[in-house]
Amino acid sequence: MKIIDNTIDFQIPVYDVIKQHPEVKQLLVEFGFKPLTDKAMLNTAGRLVSLNQGAGKIKADVTSLRKELEWNGYEVKGVDEK
């Protein structure tokens, strides 16, 4: 039996989040992470920028993003809600 890890860590690179949870990519794009639609951006900046950092760059409300992910069944950790 395979154990499914539904945890999303806001402190790891966006690339790794999407690699672990490919279904989250569209949700993030709809939330404002438009650069993720560009495969080159995902493979370069996405490997360096965490969800916390990315949210800061696009001025996204991380609290709302956390709530949206939780509503979709994910356990969220590492959110920088300053």
**Which CATH number does the domain housing residue 31 bear?**
1.10.3910.10
- Asked if the structure places residue 15 within a domain, the reply is no
pLDDT at residue 4 is higher than 70: no
Q: What is the pLDDT of residue 5?
A: 83
In angstroms, how far is the first alpha carbon of the chain from the final one?
Answer: 39
pTM of the model: 0.87
Whether 3 has a pLDDT exceeding 50, the answer reads no
Domain assignment present for 40: yes
Determine, yes or no, domain membership for 11: no
In a domain, 31, yes or no: yes
Structural domains of the chain, count: 1
Print the domain residue range for 55: 23-77
Task: Give per-residue pLDDT as tens, 10-48.
Answer: 999 999 999 999 999 999 999 999 999 999 999 999 999
Give the percent of the chain with pLDDT over 70. Answer: 94
Structural domain contains residue 34: yes
Instruction: Look over the chain and give the mean of its residue pLDDT values, rounded to a whole number.
Output: 91
Contact 68, 28 (CB under 8 A): no
Cβ count near 27 (within 10 Å): 15
Split at pLDDT 50, 70, 90, the class of 63 is very high
